[in-house]
Protein backbone atom coordinates (compact mmCIF):
# COMPACT_ATOMS: atom_id res chain seq x y z
CA UNK A 1 0.00 0.00 0.00
CA UNK A 2 2.98 2.34 -0.21
CA UNK A 3 2.39 5.07 -2.76
CA UNK A 4 5.31 5.40 -5.07
CA UNK A 5 4.26 7.88 -7.73
CA UNK A 6 5.06 11.50 -7.05
CA UNK A 7 1.54 12.37 -8.15
CA UNK A 8 0.14 10.09 -5.50
CA UNK A 9 2.29 11.64 -2.77
CA UNK A 10 1.02 15.07 -3.74
CA UNK A 11 -2.57 13.86 -3.58
CA UNK A 12 -2.03 12.21 -0.20
CA UNK A 13 -0.58 15.42 1.18
CA UNK A 14 -3.45 17.40 -0.28
CA UNK A 15 -6.16 15.06 1.01
CA UNK A 16 -4.60 15.18 4.49
CA UNK A 17 -5.17 18.91 4.63
CA UNK A 18 -8.55 18.69 2.93
CA UNK A 19 -9.72 16.26 5.60
CA UNK A 20 -9.20 18.97 8.18
CA UNK A 21 -11.70 21.18 6.38
CA UNK A 22 -14.38 18.51 6.01
CA UNK A 23 -14.63 15.29 4.06
CA UNK A 24 -16.46 16.26 0.84
CA UNK A 25 -13.18 17.41 -0.68
CA UNK A 26 -12.09 13.76 -0.84
CA UNK A 27 -14.65 13.07 -3.59
CA UNK A 28 -13.28 15.82 -5.80
CA UNK A 29 -9.72 14.78 -4.91
CA UNK A 30 -10.50 11.26 -6.08
CA UNK A 31 -12.09 12.70 -9.24
CA UNK A 32 -9.08 14.92 -9.86
CA UNK A 33 -6.71 12.03 -9.25
CA UNK A 34 -8.67 9.99 -11.78
CA UNK A 35 -8.48 12.74 -14.40
CA UNK A 36 -4.75 13.10 -13.96
CA UNK A 37 -3.97 9.40 -13.80
CA UNK A 38 -6.34 8.30 -16.57
CA UNK A 39 -6.78 11.35 -18.78
CA UNK A 40 -9.74 11.25 -21.10
CA UNK A 41 -11.46 8.31 -19.37
CA UNK A 42 -14.62 8.44 -17.29
CA UNK A 43 -14.82 7.06 -13.79
CA UNK A 44 -17.48 4.31 -13.99
CA UNK A 45 -20.69 5.33 -12.22
CA UNK A 46 -20.71 2.40 -9.77
CA UNK A 47 -17.17 3.32 -8.69
CA UNK A 48 -18.05 7.00 -8.31
CA UNK A 49 -21.03 5.97 -6.14
CA UNK A 50 -18.78 3.90 -3.85
CA UNK A 51 -16.25 6.75 -3.58
CA UNK A 52 -19.08 9.06 -2.53
CA UNK A 53 -20.32 6.47 -0.04
CA UNK A 54 -16.81 6.20 1.45
CA UNK A 55 -16.67 9.93 1.78
CA UNK A 56 -20.10 10.29 3.39
CA UNK A 57 -19.77 7.44 5.90
CA UNK A 58 -16.85 7.37 8.28
CA UNK A 59 -15.51 3.80 8.46
CA UNK A 60 -17.02 1.92 11.35
CA UNK A 61 -20.31 3.86 11.41
CA UNK A 62 -21.89 1.14 9.33
CA UNK A 63 -20.89 -2.49 9.52
CA UNK A 64 -20.09 -4.20 6.23
CA UNK A 65 -19.72 -7.92 6.73
CA UNK A 66 -16.38 -9.26 5.58
CA UNK A 67 -17.97 -12.21 3.83
CA UNK A 68 -17.31 -13.56 0.35
CA UNK A 69 -19.71 -12.48 -2.37
CA UNK A 70 -19.84 -13.52 -5.97
CA UNK A 71 -16.84 -11.27 -6.77
CA UNK A 72 -14.46 -13.85 -5.29
CA UNK A 73 -15.31 -16.11 -8.24
CA UNK A 74 -13.95 -13.63 -10.79
CA UNK A 75 -10.33 -14.48 -10.03
CA UNK A 76 -8.56 -17.54 -8.68
CA UNK A 77 -8.91 -16.46 -5.05
CA UNK A 78 -9.36 -19.90 -3.55
CA UNK A 79 -12.53 -18.51 -1.89
CA UNK A 80 -15.02 -19.33 -4.63
CA UNK A 81 -16.88 -22.58 -4.17
CA UNK A 82 -18.42 -24.40 -7.13
CA UNK A 83 -21.81 -24.19 -5.42
CA UNK A 84 -21.59 -20.37 -5.08
CA UNK A 85 -20.48 -20.07 -8.70
CA UNK A 86 -23.08 -22.48 -10.04
CA UNK A 87 -25.91 -20.69 -8.21
CA UNK A 88 -25.13 -17.40 -9.95
CA UNK A 89 -24.18 -18.50 -13.45
CA UNK A 90 -21.01 -16.37 -13.33
CA UNK A 91 -19.07 -18.89 -15.48
CA UNK A 92 -20.18 -19.72 -19.01
CA UNK A 93 -18.91 -21.33 -22.19
CA UNK A 94 -17.51 -19.17 -24.97
CA UNK A 95 -20.11 -20.70 -27.32
CA UNK A 96 -22.83 -19.02 -25.22
CA UNK A 97 -21.44 -15.63 -26.17
CA UNK A 98 -23.70 -15.00 -29.13
CA UNK A 99 -26.87 -13.06 -29.79
CA UNK A 100 -29.89 -15.22 -29.12
CA UNK A 101 -28.38 -17.51 -26.51
CA UNK A 102 -29.99 -17.65 -23.07
CA UNK A 103 -28.55 -18.17 -19.60
CA UNK A 104 -29.94 -18.46 -16.09
CA UNK A 105 -28.24 -15.85 -13.92
CA UNK A 106 -28.56 -14.60 -10.37
CA UNK A 107 -26.55 -11.56 -9.29
CA UNK A 108 -28.52 -10.32 -6.29
CA UNK A 109 -27.49 -7.00 -4.72
CA UNK A 110 -24.88 -7.53 -1.98
CA UNK A 111 -23.68 -5.28 0.83
CA UNK A 112 -21.17 -3.06 -0.95
CA UNK A 113 -18.43 -1.70 1.33
CA UNK A 114 -17.46 1.86 0.40
CA UNK A 115 -14.22 2.85 -1.30
CA UNK A 116 -12.46 4.82 1.41
CA UNK A 117 -10.70 8.12 0.79
CA UNK A 118 -7.01 7.37 0.29
CA UNK A 119 -5.91 9.27 3.40
CA UNK A 120 -8.41 7.33 5.52
CA UNK A 121 -7.42 3.93 4.11
CA UNK A 122 -3.74 4.74 4.68
CA UNK A 123 -4.43 5.20 8.38
CA UNK A 124 -6.49 2.07 8.91
CA UNK A 125 -4.89 -1.28 9.65
CA UNK A 126 -4.66 -3.61 6.69
CA UNK A 127 -1.95 -6.27 6.91
CA UNK A 128 -2.18 -6.77 10.69
CA UNK A 129 -5.06 -9.21 11.28
CA UNK A 130 -5.30 -8.55 15.03
CA UNK A 131 -5.50 -4.81 14.43
CA UNK A 132 -8.13 -5.16 11.67
CA UNK A 133 -10.31 -7.39 13.85
CA UNK A 134 -10.13 -5.08 16.86
CA UNK A 135 -10.65 -1.88 14.84
CA UNK A 136 -13.82 -3.28 13.24
CA UNK A 137 -15.06 -5.25 16.27
CA UNK A 138 -14.85 -8.59 14.50
CA UNK A 139 -14.68 -11.40 17.07
CA UNK A 140 -11.51 -13.49 16.60
CA UNK A 141 -12.46 -17.01 15.55
CA UNK A 142 -15.69 -15.87 13.87
CA UNK A 143 -16.60 -16.62 10.26
CA UNK A 144 -15.83 -13.01 9.34
CA UNK A 145 -12.43 -13.20 11.01
CA UNK A 146 -11.66 -16.31 8.97
CA UNK A 147 -12.53 -14.46 5.77
CA UNK A 148 -10.44 -11.40 6.70
CA UNK A 149 -7.52 -13.77 7.33
CA UNK A 150 -8.13 -15.47 3.97
CA UNK A 151 -8.08 -12.09 2.21
CA UNK A 152 -4.77 -11.19 3.87
CA UNK A 153 -3.31 -14.55 2.83
CA UNK A 154 -4.55 -13.98 -0.73
CA UNK A 155 -3.03 -10.49 -0.82
CA UNK A 156 0.31 -11.82 0.43
CA UNK A 157 0.40 -14.86 -1.84
CA UNK A 158 2.63 -14.76 -4.92
CA UNK A 159 0.93 -14.43 -8.32
CA UNK A 160 0.25 -17.47 -10.47
CA UNK A 161 2.72 -18.03 -13.32
CA UNK A 162 2.26 -15.34 -15.96
CA UNK A 163 0.07 -13.20 -13.70
CA UNK A 164 0.60 -9.81 -12.03
CA UNK A 165 -1.50 -9.05 -8.99
CA UNK A 166 -1.89 -6.60 -6.12
CA UNK A 167 -4.45 -5.66 -3.51
CA UNK A 168 -5.73 -2.08 -3.33
CA UNK A 169 -7.73 -0.35 -0.60
CA UNK A 170 -8.49 3.04 -2.17
CA UNK A 171 -9.40 4.40 -5.58
CA UNK A 172 -5.97 5.94 -5.95
CA UNK A 173 -4.17 2.69 -5.20
CA UNK A 174 -6.48 0.74 -7.51
CA UNK A 175 -5.83 3.11 -10.41
CA UNK A 176 -2.09 3.20 -9.74
CA UNK A 177 -1.92 -0.60 -9.66
CA UNK A 178 -3.89 -0.86 -12.91
CA UNK A 179 -1.83 1.77 -14.69
CA UNK A 180 1.43 0.15 -13.54
CA UNK A 181 0.26 -3.19 -14.91
CA UNK A 182 -1.00 -1.81 -18.21
CA UNK A 183 2.23 0.09 -18.75
CA UNK A 184 2.54 3.83 -18.42
CA UNK A 185 3.40 4.50 -22.07
CA UNK A 186 0.64 5.51 -24.47
CA UNK A 187 -1.76 6.47 -21.68
CA UNK A 188 -4.20 7.99 -24.16
CA UNK A 189 -5.27 4.48 -25.00
CA UNK A 190 -6.51 3.51 -21.53
CA UNK A 191 -10.11 2.85 -20.62
CA UNK A 192 -12.01 1.74 -17.53
CA UNK A 193 -15.42 0.13 -17.23
CA UNK A 194 -17.71 -1.85 -14.96
CA UNK A 195 -20.76 -3.99 -15.56
CA UNK A 196 -23.94 -1.92 -15.51
CA UNK A 197 -26.25 -3.78 -13.18
CA UNK A 198 -29.18 -2.17 -11.34
CA UNK A 199 -27.58 -1.18 -8.00
CA UNK A 200 -30.76 -1.86 -6.05
CA UNK A 201 -31.94 -5.39 -6.63
CA UNK A 202 -29.15 -6.56 -8.92
CA UNK A 203 -30.14 -9.27 -11.35
CA UNK A 204 -32.84 -11.56 -9.91
CA UNK A 205 -32.55 -15.24 -10.67
CA UNK A 206 -34.20 -15.88 -14.02
CA UNK A 207 -33.47 -16.51 -17.66
CA UNK A 208 -31.63 -13.76 -19.55
CA UNK A 209 -31.25 -13.46 -23.29
CA UNK A 210 -28.07 -12.21 -24.96
CA UNK A 211 -29.01 -9.27 -27.16
CA UNK A 212 -25.60 -8.01 -28.12
CA UNK A 213 -21.92 -8.86 -27.76
CA UNK A 214 -19.22 -6.23 -28.29
CA UNK A 215 -15.54 -7.02 -27.89
CA UNK A 216 -13.60 -4.28 -26.12
CA UNK A 217 -10.38 -3.10 -27.68
CA UNK A 218 -7.26 -4.20 -25.88
CA UNK A 219 -4.46 -6.65 -25.61
CA UNK A 220 -4.02 -6.15 -21.87
CA UNK A 221 -6.68 -6.00 -19.22
CA UNK A 222 -6.61 -5.59 -15.46
CA UNK A 223 -9.62 -6.98 -13.61
CA UNK A 224 -10.25 -5.85 -10.02
CA UNK A 225 -12.30 -8.10 -7.77
CA UNK A 226 -13.89 -7.20 -4.44
CA UNK A 227 -12.51 -9.43 -1.67
CA UNK A 228 -13.95 -9.95 1.85
CA UNK A 229 -12.87 -7.11 4.16
CA UNK A 230 -14.66 -4.58 6.40
CA UNK A 231 -13.89 -1.82 3.90
CA UNK A 232 -13.45 -2.11 0.15
CA UNK A 233 -10.37 -3.97 -0.96
CA UNK A 234 -9.86 -5.08 -4.54
CA UNK A 235 -7.54 -7.74 -5.72
CA UNK A 236 -6.47 -6.56 -9.16
CA UNK A 237 -4.72 -8.87 -11.57
CA UNK A 238 -3.51 -9.02 -15.10
CA UNK A 239 -2.75 -12.17 -16.99
CA UNK A 240 0.06 -11.37 -19.36
CA UNK A 241 -0.35 -12.53 -22.91
CA UNK A 242 -2.94 -12.11 -25.57
CA UNK A 243 -5.27 -14.92 -24.64
CA UNK A 244 -7.79 -12.85 -22.67
CA UNK A 245 -10.69 -11.08 -24.28
CA UNK A 246 -13.20 -8.69 -22.72
CA UNK A 247 -16.75 -8.17 -23.96
CA UNK A 248 -19.78 -6.09 -23.14
CA UNK A 249 -22.74 -8.46 -23.14
CA UNK A 250 -26.19 -6.86 -23.37
CA UNK A 251 -28.65 -8.96 -21.43
CA UNK A 252 -32.39 -8.75 -21.26
CA UNK A 253 -34.41 -10.38 -18.50
CA UNK A 254 -36.82 -12.92 -19.92
CA UNK A 255 -38.89 -13.36 -16.76
CA UNK A 256 -42.54 -12.37 -16.54
CA UNK A 257 -41.81 -8.88 -15.21
CA UNK A 258 -39.98 -7.66 -18.31
CA UNK A 259 -36.34 -6.94 -17.49
CA UNK A 260 -34.20 -5.96 -15.81
CA UNK A 261 -31.64 -5.36 -18.49
CA UNK A 262 -27.89 -5.19 -17.89
CA UNK A 263 -24.72 -4.46 -19.76
CA UNK A 264 -22.33 -7.01 -18.34
CA UNK A 265 -18.58 -7.01 -18.72
CA UNK A 266 -17.32 -10.49 -19.41
CA UNK A 267 -13.84 -11.94 -19.58
CA UNK A 268 -13.05 -14.94 -21.74
CA UNK A 269 -9.80 -16.66 -20.86
CA UNK A 270 -8.91 -18.60 -23.98
CA UNK A 271 -5.86 -20.34 -22.57
CA UNK A 272 -6.57 -22.04 -19.26
CA UNK A 273 -4.02 -24.84 -19.68
CA UNK A 274 -1.97 -23.65 -16.69
CA UNK A 275 -4.95 -23.11 -14.40
CA UNK A 276 -5.35 -25.33 -11.37
CA UNK A 277 -7.61 -28.30 -12.18
CA UNK A 278 -9.31 -27.41 -8.87
CA UNK A 279 -10.57 -24.09 -10.28
CA UNK A 280 -14.33 -24.10 -9.71
CA UNK A 281 -14.98 -22.97 -13.30
CA UNK A 282 -13.98 -26.41 -14.58
CA UNK A 283 -16.35 -28.17 -12.22
CA UNK A 284 -19.24 -25.83 -13.01
CA UNK A 285 -18.74 -25.95 -16.80
CA UNK A 286 -17.68 -29.63 -16.82
CA UNK A 287 -14.57 -28.95 -18.86
CA UNK A 288 -10.87 -29.55 -18.36
CA UNK A 289 -7.94 -27.10 -18.06
CA UNK A 290 -7.14 -25.80 -21.52
CA UNK A 291 -10.77 -25.17 -22.50
CA UNK A 292 -11.76 -21.49 -22.79
CA UNK A 293 -13.61 -20.18 -19.71
CA UNK A 294 -15.73 -17.02 -19.65
CA UNK A 295 -17.07 -15.17 -16.62
CA UNK A 296 -19.11 -12.08 -15.93
CA UNK A 297 -17.79 -9.23 -13.78
CA UNK A 298 -20.11 -8.58 -10.81
CA UNK A 299 -21.27 -5.14 -9.66
CA UNK A 300 -18.57 -2.47 -9.19
CA UNK A 301 -15.65 -4.74 -10.10
CA UNK A 302 -13.73 -2.48 -12.49
CA UNK A 303 -11.79 -3.54 -15.55
CA UNK A 304 -8.98 -1.39 -16.91
CA UNK A 305 -7.77 -1.86 -20.45
CA UNK A 306 -5.42 -0.43 -22.98
CA UNK A 307 -6.37 -0.22 -26.63
CA UNK A 308 -4.19 -2.07 -29.08
CA UNK A 309 -1.52 0.10 -30.64
CA UNK A 310 -2.72 1.19 -34.07
CA UNK A 311 -0.37 0.06 -36.79
CA UNK A 312 1.46 2.91 -38.52
C1 LIG B 1 -0.72 -5.83 15.30
O2 LIG B 1 -1.68 -5.09 15.99
C3 LIG B 1 -1.74 -5.37 17.38
C4 LIG B 1 -2.98 -4.68 17.95
O5 LIG B 1 -3.07 -3.35 17.51
C6 LIG B 1 -0.42 -4.94 18.03
O7 LIG B 1 -0.46 -5.21 19.40
C8 LIG B 1 0.71 -5.71 17.34
O9 LIG B 1 1.94 -5.24 17.83
C10 LIG B 1 0.65 -5.53 15.84
N11 LIG B 1 1.62 -6.43 15.23
C12 LIG B 1 2.52 -6.01 14.34
C13 LIG B 1 3.41 -7.08 13.78
O14 LIG B 1 2.62 -4.85 14.00
Q: What is the rounded distance in angstroms from the CA atom of residue 210 to the CA atom of residue 221?
A: 23
83 lines ligand 1 (CB under 6 A): no
Model confidence at 242, pLDDT cuts 50, 70, 90, reads low
Which of 12-21, 23-32, 97-106: highest mean pLDDT?
A: 97-106
- Enumerate helices (H) and strands (E) in the chain, giving the number of each: 9, 11
Least confident segment among 106-110, 166-170, 291-295, 304-308 = 304-308
Position 210 scores a pLDDT of 98
pLDDT of residue 310: 67
Q: Is the CB of 127 under 6 A from ligand 1?
A: no
* Pairing mode of beta strands 261-269, 102-107: unpaired
Residue 111 predicted with pLDDT over 70: yes
Q: Tell me, what's the pLDDT at 201?
A: 85
Ligand 1: residue whose CA is nearest its atom 11: 128
| In the chain, domain spans | 3-306
Is residue 294 scored above 90 in pLDDT? yes
Which residues does 123 contact at the CB level (< 8 Å), separation at least 6?
none
The rounded Å distance from CA 243 to ligand 1 centre is: 43
pLDDT at position 61: 74
Q: Quick one: pLDDT at residue 241? A: 65
- DSSP letter, residue 225: E
Out of 10-19, 244-253, 255-264, least confident range: 10-19
Ligand 1 pocket check for 140: Cβ under 6 Å:
no
Cα–Cα distance measured from residue 138 to residue 195, given in angstroms and rounded to the nearest whole number = 31
pLDDT digits (tens, 9 = 90+) for 63-96: 899 999 999 999 888 999 999 999 999 999 999 9
Cβ 131 under 6 angstroms from ligand 1 = yes
pLDDT band at 261 (very low <50, low <70, confident <90, very high): very high
Q: Phi/psi class of residue 127: alpha, beta or left (left: φ > 0; alpha: ψ in -120 to 50)? A: alpha
Bigger pLDDT: 157 or 28?
Answer: 157
Residue closest to 274 by CA, chosen among 303, 245, 243, 246: 243
In order of 10, 33, 53, 135, 158, the CA distances from 305 in angstroms are 25, 18, 25, 35, 23
Distance CA 72, CA 70 (A): 5
Cα four-point dihedral sign 122, 126, 127, 128: positive
Residue 24 has a pLDDT of 59
Distance 116 CA to ligand 1 centre (A): 22
Model pLDDT for residues 173-198, shown as the tens digit of each residue? 999 999 999 987 776 688 999 999 99
Mean of the per-residue pLDDT values of the chain: 88
Q: Which ligand 1 atom minimizes the distance to the CA of 135?
A: 5
Amino acid sequence: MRPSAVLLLLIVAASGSAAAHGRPAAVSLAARFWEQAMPGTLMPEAIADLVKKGNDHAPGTEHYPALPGISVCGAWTGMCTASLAAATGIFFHKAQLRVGSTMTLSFPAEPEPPILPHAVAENLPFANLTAVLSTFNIPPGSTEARHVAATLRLCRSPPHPGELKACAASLETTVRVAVDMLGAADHGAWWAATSEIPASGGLPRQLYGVQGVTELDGDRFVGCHKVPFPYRVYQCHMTAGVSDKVYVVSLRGLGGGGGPNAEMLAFCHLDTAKWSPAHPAFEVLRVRPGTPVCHFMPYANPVFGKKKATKP
